[in-house]
Amino acid sequence: MSETTGGVEMDEEVSGVVKKFLYVNRKAPYGTIYALESLEVVLIAAAFDQDVSLVFLDDGVYQLVKGQHTKPIDVKNFSPTYRALEGYDIEKLYVEKESLEARGLTEADLIVPVTLLSATEMAELMEDQDVVMSF
Amino acid sequence: MPIVVNGQNYETDEEGYLTNRNDWNEDLAKEMAKVDNCDLSQNHWEVINFLREYYEEYQIAPAVRVLTKAIGKKLGPDKGNSKYLYELFPYGPAKQACKYAGLPKPTGCV
Amino acid sequence: MLHTVNKSPFERDSLERCLQYARKGSAILLIEDGVYGALKGTVVTDKVKKAMKNVTIYALYPDIEARGMQDKAIDGIKLVDYGGFVDLVTEHRNVQSWL
């Protein structure tokens, strides 16, 4: 049994190779397990001190909506965890503007500060990554 | 295997983490610590309570690096460092303290 | 970059979003139910053909065969086997899967 020490010892082993990781979230939070799985992978991978970005497209934007209250459906509300990401040094969260607008939402409806990008800008960001993980 | 405190049975998983977070109380924490030959001091409680508050707010147990940083922010640099926290919780600050706090094992711990 | 789509275009928006995101010169590989988007005479055929001016579209032939859609692929779509799938992954810098 060991605890992840969050890069302190790891730096020497990987000799400072930092790659760009992008996590693409395209599913609503509770209908399928994708959103929660993605969040868990992001939290675990945060220990490796990489250049991490998260994007939210399509129904993925529903993951960030304020005021989720899941007690009535008896599942864990993991939306507060997005606010913990900053403490994990994950600060690049992007939301596709078109997806948000199509769902009648604005930035004010979201639980964390995000950067809005158009689909074109998002495609450019995607292209620029070393690793893309899709959920 | 269940843990017995004050005549009450509490369910835990195979690693000794409390199954139902709402079952937690201070006596239970003391009993869990006793099993590890650990006598809980004020300094231990500071970390345990911090973890419970952190969980309440973010719904996760923090990774040790995040815990260390957050403790430093709240309680000062003499407490927000690995040496201090490992001396308090030699089995790993996040892992051991989370157990006493009745929280699940932090995501990313193996 | 390589994009993969594994859902039927008649059930999900995966192909549509992929076509919108795929930049000039990139590749799209249709697999599993995604191969239904590679066929002639459907309501998405024209959209796919139009995209083929800017991107190269591949389809995994074993998945086409399995669905009885041999000979129905749009002309110009490149049919690959599993080895070809691996080649595509290694030839591109990164992969986005439209699930």
Nearest Cβ partner for B59 among A1, A4, A80: A80
Q: Which domains does chain A have, with CATH numbers?
A: 19-134 (3.40.1260.10)
Residues of C (37-96) whose Cβ lies below 8 Å from A: 93-96
Q: What average pLDDT does the segment A77-86 reach?
A: 97
- Yes or no: is domain C2-98 CATH 3.40.960.10? no
Give which of C63, B107, C83 is closest to A81, Cα–Cα: B107
Q: What average pLDDT does the segment B5-16 reach?
A: 92
A75 touches chain C (CB under 8 A): no
Strands B3-5 and A92-96: unpaired
* Record: contact A123-C21, CB cut-off 8 A: yes
pLDDT over threshold 60, residue B41: yes
Q: How far is C51 from chain A (nearest CA, A)?
A: 15
Check residue A9 and give its pLDDT: 46
pLDDT over threshold 50, residue A7: no
Distance of CA B28 to the CA centre of its chain: 12
Q: How far is C7 from chain A (nearest CA, A)?
A: 13
Q: How confident is the model at residue B1 (pLDDT cuts 50, 70, 90)?
A: confident
A63 contact residues in B (CB cutoff 8 A): none
Give which of A33, A19, A61 is closest to A135, Cα–Cα: A33
8 Å CB contact between B58 and A83:
yes
Check residue B2 and give its pLDDT: 86
Q: How confident is the model at residue A13 (pLDDT cuts 50, 70, 90)?
A: low
Strands B8-10 and B3-5: antiparallel
User: In sequence order, what E strands does chain B have?
Assistant: 3-5, 8-10
Give which of C1, C55, C8 is closest to C30, Cα–Cα: C8
Question: What gap in Å lies between CA B23 and CA A92, rounded to an integer?
Answer: 37
A130 contact residues in C (CB cutoff 8 A): 93-94
Q: Report the percent of chain B where pLDDT is more than 70.
A: 97
Sequence-distant contacts of A37-42: CB under 8 A, at least 24 apart: A37/A135, A38/A133, A38/A135, A39/A78, A39/A81, A39/A82, A40/B107, A41/A133, A41/A135, A42/A85, A42/A90
Average pLDDT by consecutive 10-residue portion of chain C (99 residues)? 97 97 97 97 97 98 95 97 98 97
pLDDT over threshold 50, residue A10: no
CB contact set of B83 (below 8 Å; sequence gap of 6+): none
DSSP for A15-74, written as a single string: TT---EEEEEE-S-TTTSSHHHHHHHHHHHHGGG--EEEEEE-GGGGGGGBS----GGGT
pTM: 0.88
Query: Which H or E run contains C2?
Result: strand C2-5
- Yes or no: is domain B3-100 CATH 1.10.10.370? yes
pLDDT over threshold 70, residue B93: yes
Q: How far is C74 from chain A (nearest CA, A)?
A: 26
CB contact set of C41 (below 8 Å; sequence gap of 6+): C72
Strands C27-30 and A92-96: unpaired
Q: In 3-state terms, what secondary structure has residue A101?
A: helix
Check residue A6 and give its pLDDT: 45
Question: What gap in Å lies between CA B25 and CA B41, rounded to an integer?
Answer: 16
Q: How confident is the model at residue A16 (pLDDT cuts 50, 70, 90)?
A: confident
Chain A to chain B, count of Cβ pairs less than 8 Å apart? 64
A1 contact residues in B (CB cutoff 8 A): 92, 95, 109-110
Question: What gap in Å lies between CA B73 and CA C58, rounded to an integer?
Answer: 53
Nearest Cβ partner for C21 among A27, A126, A131: A126
Check residue A47 and give its pLDDT: 85
